[in-house]
Structure 1
Amino acid sequence: MLRLRGRIVAHLLSSSSTSGPAISPLHRLLSASAAAGPISPNPAGFAVEDYLVDTCGLTRPQALKASTKLSHLKSPANPDAVLAFLSGVGLSGADVAAVVAKDPQLLCAKVDKTLAPVVDGLTGLGLSRSDIARLVSLAHAYFRCRSIVPKLHYYLPLLGSSHNLLRLLKRGGSHLLSSDLDKVVKPNVAFLRECGLGDSDIAKLCIHRPRMLTTNLERVRAMVTCAHGIGVPRGSGMFRQALHAVAFQSEEKIAAKLDYLKNTFRWSDAQVSIAVCKAPIVLSKSKESLKRRSDFFFFEVGLEPAYIAHHPVLLSYSMEGRLRPRYYVIKYLKANGLLGQYRDYYSIVMPSEKVFVEKFICPHKKAAPHLAENYATACKGEVPTNFRFT
């Protein structure tokens, strides 16, 4: 009987899909499982570890670890109900295995008292079936807490969409679901609004810095002071980027990065200030990344320190995907008398990929038939023969 039930539940999981009708009522989700007949409260031979492997899809090592938290289970009845419910929500067998491995106690949750009300509440907030399935995978233990519904009732309007919410959770922001809204999150949000950030700015900031909303208010105040200290005042267009750059970094680390920028790009104090104010994100770049760009700009492109300081966004672009390949194209066009009007390096790097190709590749199909192919090769990190200049 246990094997039959296991096969039925496993079939439910393997046949689940994110497409199809809306979430079924509980009695429909469990109907296939019920067809196996009643189960005694303590069926002989029930082994949690085997159940986790055979029915939930865990590996043996995962099951061994998870079973320590489920040693009190004497019957598969509740786990079967949970698995059937998750199948109805739209989780695949692989999704279920991953969720159970991270939160084995989900199998002990009451479907009628906890999981079904949570899903009903999330549906009422406008989350789709696929959104809820992803949320189960990302929220882990917090999904079996009914408090998740009122918290998402607050976060969804703040973040702007379920897509942003799921992105934030994927980046490690699940602690948002455990933080105290009234004592921690809302005061931080209110302070950021006082600093001139709109909800869309807060959403963008927190997707990359999830802890910004859940750390203590004094620490957020210190970050704002630090952003102001590098020359980016509240209310300025770069303030969000400045907060992003200095968040959770000590004053010593920021000072050291400013010194590194100054030395690497041969900047004066005034020039490093200009660069950081225009593009605070440069403070987030690694030393290796900055050094590679410095060498490229100085020794290959021939840029001056002042030019880089006034166009610091150049430091944020991909070396292989943008900076170097576009430079090769322009150098090739110049060498072959095809460039026409002179253009400086910044005006070549700034356009979108589509615009760059339309302006600098397409017009030369006849004169340089292999230019597009060579450019594509350069974007992969290789240097075509035609782009090798002596």
Structure 2
Amino acid sequence: MFSSLSKTLLRRPLFLPTTLRLISTATPNRPSFAFSYLVNSCGLSPESALFVSNRVIFETSARPDAVVNIFKSHGFSQSQISGIIRKCPPLILARPERTLLPKLKYLRSVGFSGSDLAPMITAAPYLLTRSLEKRLIPTFGRLRDFLGCDKSAVTAIRRSPRILLHGFEATVDRVVKILRDNGVRESSIMWLVKCHFRTLMNWYDHLEKIVEKIKGMGFDDPSAAKFAVAMLAVLGMSESMWERKLDAYSRWGWSKDDAMSAFVKCPRCMTISEEKIMAVMGFFVNEMGFESSFLLQHPTLMSLSLEKRIRPRCLIFKHLSSHGLMKTKFGLTTLLTISDKDCLVKFVTPHIGVAPELLDMYREKKHMAMGAPVP
């Protein structure tokens, strides 16, 4: 018995190339044409081609070619097309003129550019299986009415295609009701839906608990604008990441209570990375000579760009201070938080007579931070 088994194993290789193994395990009634087409014309791997060809059957390239050409004409790359077919096999046999073109044209007409459309469809190709008249148009219309314009609706859907995939009532309506019932202000709800709806939906089953948790952290007024920012900070962070950020602040002398106090003043100070916490703290303490308590009093500064905002404007502060034109460091918070236009008007232009080099210095630092050549 052992002898005959040995002879069998010698005649039959234990390891076959991937493609041969896949073909050998394919169902007998699967047309080999579909498998070959998916590999050779659509760029699918043998594994993916087998998966798709076991779900759709075709013996000519007429319909698949038409589908592929429609996608290509709308700016989809080969890898995006193969991704769409792998995720949603029925689309390879869709009717281009009746199923695909009207939906792609509609999405273009409401403001989705080619650069928006291809990644969105690739991420959620089942959008193209939904009814244009019963799902896509009504959903987009309700979202546009809620957010106020086409552009905002496009932004929301681009960031969370499931709105269009599942419909307004099953997604936005449900989340908005929870937030409204808990007193979150309407403008904050609109911002959350427009920019962060995917996060909200991922935590939908726990939203009410999250709202209560944030109230317990010291945000006792859900109608305040910063309440929504605090929600995102908590939703987007694991417990371990939260602890690592508290530890980063502790290295500069902040206690946990200090960090929580700063968080309540400016929730964004806990949304930045550990690396940025260390870099901004290091700049103010080591380069500017401030105590870390200065940032505890003004935690908003932690969220500003170090290279594009803090560094160039602190150079102005130092220059003005050296000429006796900036009396206290507390004027720095205004200098750092106002717009570029106001910064020039209030802190640069009035002092050009005394410090004519100030304007060139500011412009040079700004251009360097933006990665642009100095004019």
TM-score by length of 1: 0.68
What is the SS of the residue equivalent to 1:244? Answer: helix
Shift of 1:331: 0.9
Q: Could you say which residue in structure 2 is the equivalent of 1:236?
A: 224
Q: Which runs of 5+ in 2 are unaligned?
A: 1-32, 371-375
Instruction: Say which structure is richer in helix.
Output: 2
Are the equivalent residues in 2 in contact too, given 1:179–1:214 (CA < 8 A)? no
Q: Could you say which residue in structure 1 is the equivalent of 2:74?
A: 91
Are the equivalent residues in 2 in contact too, given 1:155–1:165 (CA < 8 A)? yes
Amino acid aligned to 1:157: D
Shift of 1:293: 1.8
Q: Could you say which residue in structure 2 is the equivalent of 1:139?
A: 121
Does residue 333 of structure 2 align to residue 346 of structure 1? Answer: yes
Q: Could you say which residue in structure 1 is the equivalent of 2:11?
A: none
Are the equivalent residues in 2 in contact too, given 1:156–1:162 (CA < 8 A)? yes
Shift of 1:250: 4.2
Shift of 1:365: 4.5
Amino acid aligned to 1:231: G
What is the SS of the residue equivalent to 1:276? Answer: helix
Amino acid aligned to 1:294: M
Are the equivalent residues in 2 in contact too, given 1:224–1:243 (CA < 8 A)? yes
TM superposition outliers: structure 1 runs of 4+ over 6 Å: 63-66
TM-score by length of 2: 0.70
Q: Could you say which residue in structure 1 is the equivalent of 2:155?
A: 167
Q: Could you say which residue in structure 1 is the equivalent of 2:103?
A: 118
Shift of 1:101: 2.7
Deviations 1:29-60 (Å, cap 9, x if unpaired)?
Answer: xxxxxxxxxxxxxx9xx9454444xxxxxxx6
Between the aligned residues of both structures, percent identity stands at: 25
Give the whole-Å Cα distance in 1 for the aligned partners of 2:342 and 2:50. Answer: 59
Q: Could you say which residue in structure 2 is the equivalent of 1:186?
A: 173
Deviations 1:226-245 (Å, cap 9, x if unpaired)?
Answer: 22122112222311111111
Does residue 117 of structure 2 align to residue 102 of structure 1? Answer: no
What is the SS of the residue equivalent to 1:209? Answer: helix
Shift of 1:315: 0.4
Shift of 1:328: 1.4
Q: How many residues of Structure 1 are paired with residues of Structure 2 in the alignment?
A: 321
Give the whole-Å Cα distance in 2 for the aligned partners of 1:159 and 1:358. Answer: 35
Does residue 205 of structure 2 align to residue 224 of structure 1? Answer: no
Are the equivalent residues in 2 in contact too, given 1:168–1:210 (CA < 8 A)? yes
Give the whole-Å Cα distance in 1 for the aligned partners of 2:46 and 2:360. Answer: 54
Q: Could you say which residue in structure 1 is the equivalent of 2:26?
A: none
Higher relative CO (Cα under 8 Å, sequence separation at least 6) belongs to 1
Which of 352, 359, 366 is residue 372 of structure 1 equivalent to? 359
Amino acid aligned to 1:348: L
Which of 55, 60, 84 is residue 75 of structure 1 equivalent to? 60
Give the whole-Å Cα distance in 2 for the aligned partners of 1:115 and 1:75. Answer: 20
Shift of 1:349: 0.5
Deviations 1:140-160 (Å, cap 9, x if unpaired)?
Answer: 312312255144344333444
Give the whole-Å Cα distance in 1 for the aligned partners of 2:115 and 2:280. Answer: 43
Amino acid aligned to 1:139: I
Deviations 1:341-364 (Å, cap 9, x if unpaired)?
Answer: 656221211111122123333345
Taking structure 1 as reference, are residues 48 and 277 closer, same or farther at Cα in structure 2, changes over 3 Å only?
Answer: closer
Matches within 5 A, 1:43-62: 47-52=37-42
Give the whole-Å Cα distance in 2 for the aligned partners of 1:334 and 1:166. Answer: 47
Amino acid aligned to 1:239: F
CA RMSD of aligned residues (A): 3.7
Which of 209, 218, 234 is residue 196 of structure 2 equivalent to? 209
Are the equivalent residues in 2 in contact too, given 1:185–1:213 (CA < 8 A)? no
Give the whole-Å Cα distance in 1 for the aligned partners of 2:126 and 2:288. Answer: 52
Give the whole-Å Cα distance in 2 for the aligned partners of 1:272 and 1:216. Answer: 25
Shift of 1:277: 1.2
